[in-house]
């Protein structure tokens, strides 16, 4: 069971995430959008959305610190375990609460504003359930360690080594298996979230427009003469088969 969950599932997740994103990017450029509902309702969105998104950015940064940077590195620069832990819980806690608060506002808005609710697809609803669950369980792991057991569980000795070991294809299953249930649940839901990611509106995160900072303001583009107006590029694998005189010029 542990092998399946912590040895196989992460790679399945990665394959789906990467493969799904590439597939979606190639075949569904038109559907690749934030699907903003600001046109319908703006007052709540203007509070909820920035709180959620900035909170989430902080949470991602926190995960990066916690999972990628080994304990020995922070100790090498003279950061004590207590100091690190306090920081992680304090900053992480605030970021997590912001994220959760933001998404609660957004979900409330989505449910209570008629037009926004009408524009919500089944896909969105599933995504919201998984996303909220991931945030809630994530916050639980953080808060549990604050309120329940003193220093709580040191995930930098279990989850983090496992996470890093995934990248060298020698998953440290035992380390992960020894982590408490809350971490297991959070990780599993997180993996589920990444698995549905390419197929939901969350893909907009992959095209965060950072290049806007560097591009010129005015863009000239030549009219594309090879294709008919509006038609997609044809992909080699899907070229229609036909006799010579039936092929398009």
List interacting residues with other proteins (CB under 8 A): 29-30, 32-42, 45-46, 49-50, 52-54, 114-115, 118-119, 204, 207, 209-213, 215, 217-223, 225, 228-232, 240, 242, 244-249
Cβ atoms within 10 A of the Cβ of 2, count?
13
86 with 92: CB under 8 angstroms? no
93 with 143: CB under 8 angstroms? yes
Q: DSSP label at 240?
A: P
Rounded to 5°, the CA angle 240-241-247 comes to 80
Q: Between 33 and 80, whose beta carbon lies closer to other proteins? A: 33
Alpha carbon distance 145, 86 (integer Å): 11
> At its nearest, how many Å lie between other proteins and the CB of residue 58?
13
Q: Between 169 and 244, whose beta carbon lies closer to other proteins? A: 244
> At its nearest, how many Å lie between other proteins and the CB of residue 121?
11
> At its nearest, how many Å lie between other proteins and the CB of residue 130?
21
> At its nearest, how many Å lie between other proteins and the CB of residue 57?
10
What is the full DSSP assignment across 95-147?
HHHHHHHHHHHHHHHHHHSHHHHHT--HHHHHHHHHHHHHHHHHHHHHHHHHH
Q: Between 35 and 111, whose beta carbon lies closer to other proteins? A: 35
Q: Between 150 and 242, whose beta carbon lies closer to other proteins? A: 242
Q: Between 147 and 212, whose beta carbon lies closer to other proteins? A: 212
Question: What separation, in Å, do the N-terminal and C-terminal C-alpha atoms of the chain show?
Answer: 57
Q: DSSP label at 217?
A: S
> Residue 58 phi/psi, 5° resolution?
-65, -40
> At its nearest, how many Å lie between other proteins and the CB of residue 10?
29
> At its nearest, how many Å lie between other proteins and the CB of residue 171?
35
Q: DSSP label at 237?
A: G
> Residue 204 phi/psi, 5° resolution?
-60, -25
What is the full DSSP assignment across 58-78?
HHHHHHIIIIIS-HHHHHHTT
Q: Between 107 and 179, whose beta carbon lies closer to other proteins? A: 107
């Amino acid at each position: 069971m542990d092998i399946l969950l912590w040895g196989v599932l992460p790679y399945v997740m990665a394959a789906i995430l990467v493969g799904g994103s590439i597939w979606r990017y190639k075949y569904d450029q038109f559907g690749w959008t934030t699907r903003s509902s600001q046109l319908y309702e703006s007052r709540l969105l203007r509070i909820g959305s920035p709180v959620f998104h900035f909170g989430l950015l902080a949470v991602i940064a926190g995960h990066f610190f916690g999972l990628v940077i080994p304990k020995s590195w922070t100790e090498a620069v003279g950061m004590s375990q207590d100091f690190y832990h306090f920081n992680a819980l304090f900053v992480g806690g605030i970021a997590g609460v912001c994220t959760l608060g933001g998404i609660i506002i957004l979900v409330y808005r989505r449910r209570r504003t008629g037009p926004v609710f009408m524009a919500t697809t089944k896909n969105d609803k599933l995504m919201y359930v998984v996303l909220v669950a991931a945030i809630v369980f994530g916050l639980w792991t953080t808060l549990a360690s604050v309120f329940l057991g003193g220093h709580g569980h040191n995930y930098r000795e279990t989850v983090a080594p496992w996470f890093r070991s995934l990248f060298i294809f020698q998953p440290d299953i035992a380390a992960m298996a020894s982590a408490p249930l809350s971490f297991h649940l959070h990780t599993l839901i997180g993996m589920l979230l990444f698995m549905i990611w390419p197929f939901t509106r969350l893909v907009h995160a992959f095209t965060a427009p950072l290049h806007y900072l560097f591009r010129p303001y005015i863009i000239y583009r030549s009219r594309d003469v090879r294709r008919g107006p509006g038609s997609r590029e044809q992909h080699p694998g899907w070229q229609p088969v036909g006799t010579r005189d039936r092929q398009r010029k």
